[in-house]
Amino acid sequence: MNTEKTLILVKPDGVRRGLIGEVISRIEAKGYNIDAIRMLKADRTLLEQHYAEHIGKGFYEALVEFMMSGPIVAIVASGNRVIEGFRSLSGVTDPTLAAPGTIRGDLARDQGTKVVQNIVHGSDSPESAAREIHIFFP
Ligand code: DAT
Ligand code: MG
């Protein structure tokens, strides 16, 4: 047993569209545990930490503005290989290319905006997960 944890976010587009329950259902249906949930409105300082790797990219400011545009839901989920597993449930970044059956593939599409809006975030490595969980659940 080497139970892993990941940080999942339901982004403002997901909350606005009433998809909190849908995302949680998919996490639970896959068999992962929900360890913590928190609804919040993220501020710039928090998002600068969370998206530090993207600072300086062309879409960064639009990303921060989008993530501040409404409440988000932060979730810690756990289970063996949950980091990889939730990325697989999410589908790839671009919702047009995300496979049907995935959260992004089923529930999101290209909105023509400067930043891609794709319903969820999931940590991409154990290091990112530890860092991101600490940001949202200090
Ligand atoms: P992911 O969320 O799949 O891990 P990421 O970490 O590379 O993707 O980027 C964070 C978010 O920023 C992503 O969910 C949507 C947006 N984004 C990424 N690349 C983008 C791009 N080239 N143009 C516009 N938005 C982008
Ligand atoms: Mg990422």
The Cα–Cα gap between 100 and 82 comes to: 20
Q: Is 134 a catalytic residue?
A: no
**pTM assigned to the model:** 0.98
> What one-character DSSP code corresponds to residue 54?
G
What would the pLDDT profile of 25-38 be if each residue is shown by its tens digit?
999 999 999 999 99
The Cα–Cα gap between 134 and 138 comes to: 5
The pLDDT of residue 60 is: 98
- Who's near 125: CB < 8 A, 6+ residues apart? 83
What would the pLDDT profile of 47-70 be if each residue is shown by its tens digit?
999 999 999 999 999 999 999 999
Range of the domain at 12: 3-136
Taking CA atoms only, the protein residue closest to ligand 1 atom 8 is 93
- For the CA of 114, the closest atom of ligand 1 is 24
Helices in the chain by DSSP H: which ranges? Answer: 12-16, 20-30, 44-50, 60-67, 82-90, 103-107, 126-136
Task: Label residue 24 by pLDDT band (50, 70, 90).
Answer: very high
Dist. CA 87 → ligand 2 center (Å)? 9
Mutate to test the pocket of ligand 1, among 11, 48, 63 (most ligand atoms within 8 A of CB): 63
The pLDDT of residue 1 is: 61
What's the number of domains the chain is made of? 1
Q: What is the CATH number of the domain that holds 84?
A: 3.30.70.141
For the chain, the average pLDDT equals: 98
